[in-house]
Amino acid sequence: MTLICCIRQITLKCWKMKKFESLEELRKDIDVIDLKILDLIQKRKDLVTEVVKLKKRDQIVDQKRIEFILNKLRKEALSRGLAVEFIEDIWTLMIKNFIKYEEKVFDEIHKK
SS (H, E, C) 32-87: HHHHHHHHHHHHHHHHHHHHHHCCCHHHCCCHHHHHHHHHHHHHHHHHHCCCHHHH
74 within a domain of the structure (yes/no): yes
66 within a domain of the structure (yes/no): yes
- Dihedral (CA of 112, 94, 28, 74) sign: negative
pTM for this prediction: 0.77
- Tell me the residue range of the domain where 64 lies: 48-111
- What are all long-range contacts of 17-24, with beta carbons under 8 Å and residues at least 24 apart? none
8 within a domain of the structure (yes/no): no
- Is residue 81 predicted with pLDDT exceeding 70? yes
55 within a domain of the structure (yes/no): yes
Query: Of all helices (H) and strands (E), which one includes residue 89?
Result: helix 84-111
Q: Average of pLDDT values for 56-66?
A: 97
70 within a domain of the structure (yes/no): yes
What was the pLDDT predicted at 13?
58
CA distance 44 to 111: 24
31 within a domain of the structure (yes/no): no
Reported as a single tens digit per residue, the pLDDT across 14-49 is: 555 567 678 899 999 999 999 999 999 999 999 999
Distance of CA 109 to the CA centre of its chain: 25
Nearest residue to 85 via CA among 106, 98, 102, 70: 70
40 within a domain of the structure (yes/no): no
Q: Count how many domains the chain has.
A: 1
% of the chain exceeding 90 in pLDDT: 76
Q: Which segment of 4-18, 58-72, 80-94 scores lowest on mean pLDDT?
A: 4-18
What was the pLDDT predicted at 80?
94
- Is residue 101 predicted with pLDDT exceeding 70? yes
CA distance 73 to 88: 8
Cα Rg, the chain, nearest whole Å: 18
Give the chain's mean pLDDT. 89
25 within a domain of the structure (yes/no): no
- Is residue 9 predicted with pLDDT exceeding 80? no
